[in-house]
Structure 1
Amino acid sequence: MKTAVVICPGRGTYNKAELGYLAQHFPDAALLAKFDAQRAAAGQETLIALDSAERFSGIKHTRGDNASGLIYAATLGDYLGIDRDQVEVVAVTGNSMGWYSALACAGALSPENGFKVANTMGTLMQESLIGGQLVYPFLDDDWRPDPARRGALLALVDNIDRREGHVLRLSIALGGMLVLAGDAPGLAAFEAEAEPIQGRFPMRLGNHAAFHTELQEPVAQRGRERLPADLFGQPAVPMIDGRGAVWWPHASDTASLRDYTLGEQVTQTYDFTRAVEVAAREFAPDLFIITGPGTTLGGAVAQSLILANWRGMGSKDDFRALQDETGLLVAMGMPDQRSKVAKRDWP
């Protein structure tokens, strides 16, 4: 049996290629119906209807009030589909809203309460849609660490943020990518002053707010008003949060867990890179399993391991050699990799 850290993806991972993902992979129709009962009660379109749409709609499917529920359900369904006769899950982490999914996967939230948290916070974000996000890489094509370049970019971010009428912060440390968030003047200033790369960066993220910045405090406050403390319990599996802190089974303060989830996690930088490093060093898994939907998080995980110099990796070629040798990274959104860790899919 192999040990694994499970990594839950965040927003932006349910796209055109993922349409029908729940119908193909979700293992529990009764549980999915419970999620949809919550959405129906709130006057929202059901996940089943969204997932079975004739065609993907960026305007509809990527909205926070729809995307969060779809991504949470896809993630949890994949987690439930892991073959526990072959894989021992030793820890769980996630990227950004993937933290809500991680809470449910680890048992700190029930599946239904996890959905309530993810769907509520996604809806509140969409209703407010304060600010925006963009992404910009600091690693070259070979993924060799370049702390000087990263430092220079963050210095530019800080310079813009200190200007009157501008807000710009590091939202997510995402491997070799900086995810920046701020208000319209802050984002526009970075776009004007950062060197264009690959014909697509800096890249704005559609339907994304200024996640993980103080601009989201009104959303965090409304979340605390709607999501009571009794939703949260002890995890059954260790969880690594967006600071790299570990929440241990039978030893976690559930009030503090709620405070972090609906407070700092919403309004402060989410250090996914650090979470992956801690997962690697603390738990030394045989595998890193990235649940669906989507396949875009693999690069960030690999880059995070390189930045941590884990197992001596210092470049993309080093990672590829280790991946070819060990199959270290398993993305459940890729059928050939999914089959290595998952039970059969359900019709």
Structure 2
Amino acid sequence: MTRKTAVLICPGRGTYNAPELGYLGRHHASRTELLARFDALRSETGQEPVTALDAAPKFQPALHTRGDAASPLIYACSYLDALAIDRERIDIVAVTGNSMGWYIALACAGAVSPEAGFRIVNTMGTLMQERLIGGQLVYPFVDADWQEIPGRRAGILDKMSEIAAREGHDLAVSIALGGMLVLAGNDAGLRAFEAEMPRIDDRFPMRLKNHAAFHTALQAPVATEGQACLGPDLFGAPDVPLIDGRGQIWWPGATDSAALRDYTLGHQVTEAYDFSRAIQTAAREFAPDLFIITGPGTTLGGATAQALIQADWRGMAGKTDFQTKQKATPLLVSMGLDDQRFAVTKGE
């Protein structure tokens, strides 16, 4: 049997919502030993165990979307999904992630242990929540067929720069996310953008609840505290190639673990995260048969496909092209969808 090659993609914040409540219980109830270790790490810091958060009778936005709850929940779901992939049929040739998903990617690639990855995610998620510096919003620059609207991206960046130049206003690119830009800043900067940019589909600009100004200079205090809390002993070299938020590849056998820590707790926290470039690097350098997005949630599929379209990967020029290819021979598997996850797992 020929193994398919795949790039593994780990999701970031905002992917554990009401439909995902109980995800660990539904898909990973047998992983009691590893979940117990994660719960023990939460108990050490006086925080509610991830299994208890997942088993709550009702999804509570005020609780489940907080950085100190959502981050460890998403980590546990995503990491255990990666373990569930059938490696006899699937060869993971590289790993990447979106935003907080970079921390999960570190563990999935073997650069940190499962427990170290959990500690990194939980620490950074808690620090972000405690400080909650600034916020984020999203704004699209593609049309309904995922083709770039001429001038839209430049218009967004021009308005962003204009606002950022005003006294008391902070606004910067946070994440390049397929056909959308995620902008982050202080409240004055975000409010100005919301007031001065045209509304699209009665949704955008869309402010993201319980999100700080991730990947901007405003997070410098969080980066400093993270570096103080998370020592160099947690980091090592990956077992498979890692693609970061600049599109840089960290290769097995050629990775300086100190440099990897510096990037993770420095640049990755305070500078823009280019998810689109990470996906495009993965496509060009590894030419995988599949892109597999771990759960929870299903929202990252569109951004991944849009990034591939921007790179003209396999001749795709828009959403229709992607859907045609996806129907004929799936290019992208979202493990948050039951019918797709079973295509890459051994069965649960």
- The interval holding the TM-score normalised by the smaller chain is over 0.9
Which TM-score applies when normalising by structure 1? 0.98
Residue 24 of structure 1 is matched in structure 2 by 26
Structure 2 counterpart SS, 1:163: coil
Map 1:1-347 onto structure 2 (within 5 A).
1-26=3-28, 27-146=30-149, 148-345=151-348
Letter in 2 for 1:289: I
Per mean C-alpha deviation after superposition, the further-off stretch among 26-35 and 298-307 is: 26-35
1:216 deviates by 0.2
Partners of 1:242 and 1:146 lie apart in 2 by 24
Partners of 2:174 and 2:136 lie apart in 1 by 8
Per mean C-alpha deviation after superposition, the further-off stretch among 136-145 and 9-18 is: 136-145
Structure 1 counterpart SS, 2:151: helix
Partners of 2:122 and 2:347 lie apart in 1 by 28
Deviations 1:250-298 (CA, angstroms, capped at 9, x unpaired): 1001100000000000000000000000000000000000000000000
Partners of 2:263 and 2:143 lie apart in 1 by 34
Which TM-score applies when normalising by structure 2? 0.98
Give the aligned CA root-mean-square deviation in angstroms. 0.7
Which stretches in structure 2 are left out of the alignment for 5+ residues?
Answer: none
Partners of 2:137 and 2:152 lie apart in 1 by 18
Letter in 2 for 1:139: V
Regions of 4+ moved over 4 Å: none
Percent identity for Structure 1 against Structure 2 = 65
Partners of 1:101 and 1:36 lie apart in 2 by 17
Deviations 1:116-173 (CA, angstroms, capped at 9, x unpaired): 0000000000000000001111111011123521111111111111111100000000
Deviations 1:61-92 (CA, angstroms, capped at 9, x unpaired): 00000000000000000000000011000000
Contact 1:108 1:235 in 2 (8 A): yes
Contact 1:145 1:314 in 2 (8 A): no
Partners of 2:325 and 2:148 lie apart in 1 by 18
Letter in 1 for 2:160: V
1:203 deviates by 0.6
Partners of 2:345 and 2:166 lie apart in 1 by 50
Letter in 2 for 1:173: A
Letter in 2 for 1:260: Y
Partners of 2:150 and 2:97 lie apart in 1 by 24
Which stretches in structure 1 are left out of the alignment for 5+ residues?
Answer: none
1:192 deviates by 0.5
Per mean C-alpha deviation after superposition, the further-off stretch among 284-293 and 157-166 is: 157-166
Structure 1 counterpart SS, 2:182: strand
Contact 1:133 1:187 in 2 (8 A): yes
Task: Flag the 1:147–1:92 CA change in 2: closer, same or farther, 3 A.
Answer: farther
Letter in 2 for 1:148: G
Partners of 1:79 and 1:25 lie apart in 2 by 12
Structure 1 counterpart SS, 2:260: helix
Partners of 1:173 and 1:256 lie apart in 2 by 23
Partners of 1:326 and 1:118 lie apart in 2 by 35
Structure 2 counterpart SS, 1:262: helix
